[in-house]
Structure 1
């Protein structure tokens, strides 16, 4: 959490947005990419989304259709993870988990084909045009797509709030290491707070 246990720059304003990273069936169910403790953080993600469904964007990681697809090293990546291509998984597995899918709309979906939602997209322009100045991040994985989302938001100059009990990974050791980095190496640019702390200052219209 933040060193003083609170949001150091004050409550998120009306121009904050919640980016929930890749909370999809293929990471929640019995696949090679399953995150075993996704169910542990899901209630917190639901609570934040329920408070601000119209201020939530769900990113979805979209794999290639079949092994052999993809550009450069991504082609090799999907040779290794051929079980996670759409032809092997089935199209439905890229969907959000049901507990979150029910918020769409008014929540929105933003598809991406790489770890970062900022690469090869107009996400920054979309958010700037909507007056967004603060990005609140939840989802998975802490050390992969969440990391890419956080660093991209930092690079674009957004205020970044990471919700510590609403992110997860499939690897405990690297999750813990990454949380230490967020807290210490990025202490000036990433505010780390719990769900309860966030919602005390960004309550919204509903609590799940």
Structure 2
């Protein structure tokens, strides 16, 4: 997205071969000691990979922001259910925000 180009670098890319980016250890290794306290999460399969990422981030104590218009799923019903879950059941651990809201508040 052209509007995000100003953030690259310092953005980093980690490829993964499983649902959770935490399982293989590379994300933990990258974040360890980095002073990062917030993860802004986007991606495909809201109800699979995004969910695994969100839950792992919560477990590790990160502030989690799910970008509502930058996640998707191949199944609309479960995507919608997970978006509701993020907003209701996980409202203390997860913030839901649009791309515009994230960009407006980025420091």
Q: Equivalents in 2 of 1:152, 1:174: separation in Å?
A: 19
TM-score (norm 2): 0.91
| TM alignment of 1:192-207, pairs within 5 A | 192-202=96-106
Question: Is 1:170–2:74 an aligned residue pair?
Answer: yes
- Could you report, residue by residue, the CA deviation over 1:40-70 in whole angstroms, capped at 9, with x for unpaired residues? xxxxxx25632411243xxxxxxxxxxxxxx
Q: Equivalents in 1 of 2:38, 2:67: separation in Å?
A: 13
Count of aligned pairs between the two proteins:
107
Q: Equivalents in 1 of 2:6, 2:86: separation in Å?
A: 25
Question: Is 1:149–2:53 an aligned residue pair?
Answer: yes
Structure 2 alignment gaps of length 5 or more = none
Cα offset for 1:199?
Answer: 0.7
SS in 2 for 1:111: coil
CA contact (8 A) 1:116 1:152 kept: yes
SS in 2 for 1:149: helix
Structure 1 alignment gaps of length 5 or more = 1-45, 57-107, 204-208
Larger Rg: 1
CA contact (8 A) 2:87 2:96 kept: yes
User: Which structure carries more relative contact order (alpha carbon 8 Å, separation 6+)?
Assistant: 1
Aligned structure 1 segments of 4 or more residues deviating by more than 2 angstroms: none
